[in-house]
Structures are given as structure tokens and as C-alpha cells.
Amino acid sequence: MYRLIFTLIFKPMDAERAHHLSFTALRVLDRIPGLGRLLRVVFARGTQQPAEVLGLPFPNRVGLAAGFDKNGVGVRALSALGFGHIEVGTITAHAQPGNERPRLFRLLRSRALLNRMGFNNDGARQASFNITRQRKALAALPAAKRPIIGINIGKTKVVPAEDAVADYVASTRELAPLADYLVINVSSPNTPGLRDLQSVSALEPIITAVRETAAEVVAAPRSALGHVPLLVKIAPDLSDEDVVDICDLAARAGADGLIVTNTTIDRNVLTGNDAAFARREAGGISGRPLAARSLEVLRLVAATVGDELTIVSVGGVGDGRDVSARLAAGADLVQVYSEMIYSGPFWPGRIIRGQGTRLLTRGTGGA
């Protein structure tokens, strides 16, 4: 049924408009008395596979990556699909419109997306109001069914690189009290100069400042770690040497984990008409073509950090076997996004229930 809906309704429609339409519909349905509960029965059955990660009680190990809910307006509705955690954002200290449209494209043959959104969001202060309302709405659910909420923060486009630390600090002050965990995003290809902040010299002061600010504004963190867990999201296009350097830096600077990986700017992951189209357009590629490099980076990070840091794997997850492979390769959590556009709202619950997603510890091997 979803394939028919996608072909007849969403496929002819601009990708960003289709996203807003489907997301709005889900939020409206969740607010109708009794229907939100029915959605959870239909979509999220069998997804309770509890795991403690980052000192937090995750309902399961599969979550929704940042980018879907940029402003934190639909966390409760998205939880009806069965996700164990939902990462909101990327949110910047100041509201910004993002890049000009069109800025989101489907690469149909590759089951991929190309985006150059540019961190379009309403800013940290408005997001704090939105997430506060979502937390109140989630409080009506049984505790075991409430997703963990991650908040992903990035640099405001108009803020110069030399003021990046202060910009991240401003977002942290607003959002850390509402976050189960925080993510520093320095790896999107769609904000000019952002990826330069992945250098050790630029990244270390950001990690230190965000960590110290979160400790200052959050007296009672939700995590058993005793502080708001802090992760760094890195790009798949880094050299292996740079990945190792960031691993060492993250551990040294007091980060708790890494998210691997963001979208890629490498057009060689595509073939045919999709490759030709992507070479004419700016932006990052997500979806199945990213799987190989994402898995490579995951294995490298796992070999480098051991059990010292938490690892979240994202990029190219297509089914339950992919989730099993990421957990077996060293991930503690797995995030998804692009494939849901092609496979629909039943897909998250299906892959969570899939073979091997019940692994309880990192690197124990698939079933």
C-alpha cells in the first residue's frame, strides 16, 4: 500500500513538500484521541527491546537520525513508529531559513537522498519551547515507551568560524536542560566552512565549552553518567588518519561518543543517471550508497576507541540485517532516516523486530 501511495502521491511531488505533508499528517493523527494509541499498536508492536546506553534507558537500539524533525515539533508522533530514540535538529543558536529551494532531491534508482538544506530551523530558543511541549506530551505515555531525546546542535551560518565556540555555547544554554544527550554537528557539507571545525585544533575548544556549559546549566541530568552525554557527529569523507585523530580528541576532551557518519559529498558512490544528476547539484548524499563507507568508518572507530566511547552508526541502513551488522561491528545504537522515505511508516518497526537487533552488547556478532 505504501509503495502505491509513494508512486501516486509523493513521487511526483517536490521532496521537501512531501516530507512536510507526511510529517504534518502523522502529527495530526497522533493528536486525535485514541488514534495515537492505535498508531502505536499498528506501527510499534514488538519494538520493546530495552538497552542502557550513555546511562540512559533506551526502549530499543534503533533511532531516527537528525534532520527529520529539525525543530522538535513531532517527537511524540514519531515515537509511534517504534523508535527507541529521536534526534532533533540540527538546531542553531539563531533562526535561519537555510538554502534556497529546491534543496532536497530523491535519487530513486539508488534509494538515496541528496540534500543541501543548510540547517534551516527556527533557532534554539523556539526549539526549547517546542521540545518542552513534546516532553509534556510524552509524559502521558508509559515510561517504557518514551523515546530518548537527543538534540543535535550546529553553527549558525552567518557566525564566523572564530566565533563558533560562542555560538555552540549559546545553543547549549538553551537546549541542554531538555536533552537526554547532546550532539555537536561539525560535519554537514551544507554550511560553508563547517567541516573545517572537524580539525583537532578547532574541535577541541568546542567540545570543552559545550561540555562545561551543559554541566553549568543542568543540575540534575537524566543520565546515570552524572552529566548530559555529549557526542560528536563526523563526516564519512574524512581520511582514516583524521578519524583516528578525532577519536583520540573526543576521548581526551571528555566527549562520551561519536556518531558515524553524516552525509557524503563523494559522487562516486552513485552510478548512472543518479550520479550525473548529483554531479550537477551541491549537497550531501544519504541512503544506501553511503552504507559501505559508513560501515568502514564504524569499524575503524570501534577498533580505535574500544569501550571508551559510545558509537552510534548511521548511513545506508536498509533492513534488519543491516542493523545486526552495525551492532556486530561495534555500534551501540543505530540511526536511520533516508530508507524510511522509500519504505514507509511500517519500516522502522519491521527492522527493529528484525533478526539480530536484540543484541545486548557491542560486537557480539549477529544471529
Tell me whether residue 185 is annotated as binding.
yes
| Mean predicted lDDT score pLDDT of the chain | 91
d(CA 199, CA 92): 20
Half-sphere exposure of 34 (CA within 13 A, CB side): 0
Max CA distance (Å), the chain: 54
Tell me if 69 is assigned to a ligand binding site.
Answer: yes
Among 189, 125, 195, 120, residue whose Cα is nearest residue 164: 195
| 255: exposed, middle or buried (Cβ count in 10 Å: 0-12, 13-18, 19+) | buried
116 is in an annotated binding site: yes
| Least reliable range by pLDDT among 7-16, 42-51, 242-251, 294-303 | 7-16
pLDDT digits (tens, 9 = 90+) for 285-343: 999 999 999 999 999 999 999 999 999 999 999 999 999 999 999 999 999 999 999 98
- Residues 6+ away with beta carbon under 8 Å from 239: none
User: Shortest CA distance to 54 belongs to which of 89, 91, 84, 88?
Assistant: 84
User: Domains of the chain: which residue ranges?
Assistant: 1-355
Q: How confident is the model at residue 3 (pLDDT cuts 50, 70, 90)?
A: confident
Which of the residues 79, 128, 171, 188 is marked catalytic? Answer: 188
Query: What is the per-residue pLDDT across 101-154, written as a single tens digit (0 to 9) for each?
Result: 999 999 999 999 999 999 999 999 999 999 999 999 999 999 988 999 999 999
Instruction: Pick 1-355's CATH classification: 3.30.1330.90, 3.20.20.70, 3.20.20.150, 3.50.50.60.
Output: 3.20.20.70
Q: Is 316 annotated as a binding residue?
A: yes
Helix (H) or strand (E) holding 259: strand 257-260
Helices and strands, number each (H, E), in the chain = 13, 13
**Residue 188 falls in the annotated catalytic set:** yes
